[in-house]
Amino acid sequence: MQPLFILWMALLPYLMPATEAVGRNHCQVYGSVYLERNPMYKNTASHVVYLGEEEAFANMVVYRESNKLFADAPAVWYLTPNKAFADYVLYVTEQRYQADFTVHFTDARSFATCRE
């Protein structure tokens, strides 16, 4: 019985879905967000984003909220100037292929959306 249990425990990581893919859902990013641009802190960010000019090619169309209390829905962000007060730290890359998702900022809250 014990060898079967050891075999099951050895194969368990290969049978379970990757937790990184589950924890990396970009549609759940909302609230206070800090945009990190220093490459030295890239590994401490929760996601890598590319800020695009075209809304049609963006994974998220984000509305910049001016009050932190109203940034309570997906794709509604309050951009905080201080990393310590951010719910999410996102590293901004200049290369689109390095990004986990692309972001386009909109001026209308009703246009804020997340595309999976």
Q: Does any domain span residue 86?
A: yes
- Quote the pLDDT of residue 52: 93
Any residues with CB less than 8 A from the CB of 38 and at least 6 apart, and which? Answer: none
Q: Does any domain span residue 4?
A: no
Write down the pTM of the prediction. 0.77
Sign, Cα dihedral of 83, 85, 91, 92: negative
Q: Does any domain span residue 19?
A: no
Q: Does any domain span residue 8?
A: no
- Quote the pLDDT of residue 18: 43
Q: Does any domain span residue 62?
A: yes
Q: How would you classify residue 44: left for phi > 0, otherwise alpha for psi between -120 and 50, otherwise beta?
A: alpha
Q: Does any domain span residue 53?
A: yes
Widest distance between CA atoms in the chain = 63
Closest CA to 93 of 12, 54, 39, 56: 39
Q: Give me the percent of the chain exceeding a pLDDT of 70.
A: 83
- Quote the pLDDT of residue 93: 96
Q: Does any domain span residue 79?
A: yes
Q: Does any domain span residue 1?
A: no
Q: Residues 83-100: what's their mean pLDDT?
A: 95
Q: Which domain holds residue 63?
A: 25-114
Q: How many domains does the chain have?
A: 1
DSSP for residue 55: S
Burial-class residue 90 by CB neighbours within 10 Å (0-12, 13-18, 19+).
Answer: buried
